[in-house]
Amino acid sequence: FSAGVVTVSGAGTTVDVTAPYCLLQGQQGVTVSDGAQVRGTSQSDNALYTLSGAITVTGQGTLVDVSSYYCLIQAPAGVTVSDGAKVTGQTSDSAIFSSTGPIVVTGQGTTVDATAVYCLLQGNAAITVSGGAKVTGTARQSNAIYTSAGAVTVTGKGTLVDIVSSYYCLIQAPAG
């Protein structure tokens, strides 16, 4: 836990932990980048969480492979997974959630692959999957990608959204 931003950065840097609460929590944000790896299980909370900031997972070789009771990643100001980073895991909630900021998954080799009880990507603003990124997995009891406000955009050569949603829609967005 940090009152500021938690940063895990650099190839060879690994955080591997099982915890009753968050694995990484920064009040102002969380960044995992440049080949760092975060692995573990949050037994009763979100895996990566920020109270007021954004969460960024970026860079070739960067991996967040976690399981959690609540969201794998939750950030009110937005979530970005980019530039070849990978987010994988299982959750009893939505995989990635942002209450007010955008969710962006972008860049060749960038992957979000999760099994979630609810949505894989869920928010109250725009959601974008682009630039050859891949979002795959299973949403067991909800829409696969859902925003209550804003649009969902899937664009770019090689971009893939391949999600099994056994309950509702693949994508639901009131604004388009």
Tally of CA atoms within 13 A in the half-sphere of 85 that contains its CB: 29
% of residues, the chain, pLDDT over 70? 98
124 near 102, Cβ under 8 Å?
no
- Identify the pLDDT of residue 166: 67
Comparing CA positions, the residue from 18, 22, 83 lying closest to residue 56 is: 83
| 116 pLDDT tier (thresholds 50, 70, 90) | very high
- What tens digit of pLDDT does each residue of 122-147 get? 999 999 999 999 999 999 998 899 99
CA distances from 41 to 85, 86, 148 (A): 19, 17, 29
* Sign of torsion over alpha carbons 109, 110, 115, 118: negative
For the whole model, what pTM was predicted?
0.96
pLDDT per position as a tens digit, 42-74: 999 999 999 999 999 999 999 999 999 999 999
Radius of gyration of the chain measured on its C-alpha atoms: 14
